[in-house]
């Protein structure tokens, strides 16, 4: 149980740290947020938990394919905000657009024989 609490704490501290740094410098916050910390932590925890490099490799490959549709959020959100849409509505719509892009990517990859 201590191990799981440690995993959650380390992950949460990084997210809060990035949020706090972003208050002072959006550039440094963006640099830190753009580093795939979540993916790196997930791969690290997966390897520590299983010792299975095959599972880590599969995860890394899947993350690669799903990075492209995730970028839709970072296009849609600022466009909506600059057009005066409320923040929470902009965020919800951007997440919805991103979810649709994920679905389209998965469908396209399956069409070409790539299983995630």
pLDDT digits (tens, 9 = 90+) for 38-94: 889 899 999 999 999 999 999 999 999 999 999 999 999 999 999 999 999 999 999
Query: Does the structure show a pLDDT above 90 at 15?
Result: no
3-class SS string, 79-115: HHHHCCCCHHHHHHHHHHHHHHHHHHHHHHHHHCCCC
- Print burial letters for 43-65: b (CB count within 10 Å at least 16), e (below 16): bebbeeeeeeeeebeebeeebee
> Among positive and negative, which fits the CA dihedral 17, 96, 76, 89?
negative
């Amino acid at each position: 149980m201590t191990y799981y609490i440690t995993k959650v704490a380390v992950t949460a501290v990084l997210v809060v740290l990035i949020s706090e740094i972003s208050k002072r410098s959006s550039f440094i916050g963006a640099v830190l947020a753009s580093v795939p910390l979540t993916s790196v932590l997930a791969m690290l925890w997966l390897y520590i938990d299983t010792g299975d490099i095959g599972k880590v490799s599969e995860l890394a490959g899947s993350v690669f394919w799903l990075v492209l549709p995730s970028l839709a959020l970072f296009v849609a959100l600022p466009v909506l905000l600059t057009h005066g849409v409320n923040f929470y509505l902009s965020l919800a719509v951007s997440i919805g657009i991103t979810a649709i892009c994920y679905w389209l990517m998965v469908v396209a990859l399956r069409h070409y024989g790539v299983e995630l």
